[in-house]
Amino acid sequence: MTTVRAVVEWIPKEQGGRSEPPAGVGSPPYATVVRFTDADEPWPPPVAWSLVVEKDEETSGRYRWFADVHFLMNDAPHDSLRHGRTFELYEGKKLVARGRILPRDESAAVE
């Protein structure tokens, strides 16, 4: 299973997102449907994948997280997790966060 580092920006309730970001730590991990913004497919897609987002508590703020992300399922398209790629996280039809996969050299640094 491929795990990469990402920065995730949670959308506040006032802007149509969640009332609070999820905990992002512990068990079970936070997982929700991901949409890659450069994907040339209809939304919602015929097959949707769930992305697990595990917050790095030391480097994260309330609405801006640095996190390890990976697909929930082993048969997911792991090659989609390429650095620089942007994504959106959905809970049902609601857009709750936007993110970007970080390059390996940037993943250890706090932006």
Does the residue 11 lie in any domain?
A: yes
Interacting residues of 16 by C-beta distance below 8 A, sequence separation 6+: 94, 95
The reported pLDDT for the residue numbered 106 is: 56
pLDDT in tens, 15-60: 999 999 999 898 889 999 999 999 888 888 888 999 999 999 999 9
Q: 89 lies in a domain?
A: yes
Helix, strand and coil content of the chain, in percent to the nearest 5, comes to 10, 40, 50
The answer to whether the bond into 46 is cis (omega within 30° of 0) is: no
CA neighbor of 7 nearest in space, from 50, 64, 92: 64
Q: Which two tokens stand for residue 50?
A: 């769930």
Quick one: average pLDDT of 105-110? 52
CA distances to 13, 26, 92 from 108, rounded to whole Å, are 29, 21, 32
Please give the pLDDT value at position 109: 47
Residue 61 domain flag: yes
Which CATH number goes with the domain that contains 21? 2.40.30.10
For residue 68, the enclosing domain spans 4-106
For residue 31, is it within any domain? Answer: yes
pLDDT tens-digit series, residues 75-92: 999 999 999 999 999 999
For the chain, what is the domain count? 1
User: What 3-state class would DSSP assign to 58?
Assistant: coil
Instruction: For residue 24, tell me if it sits in a domain.
Output: yes
111 assigned to some structural domain: no
Q: Is 46 within the bounds of a domain? A: yes
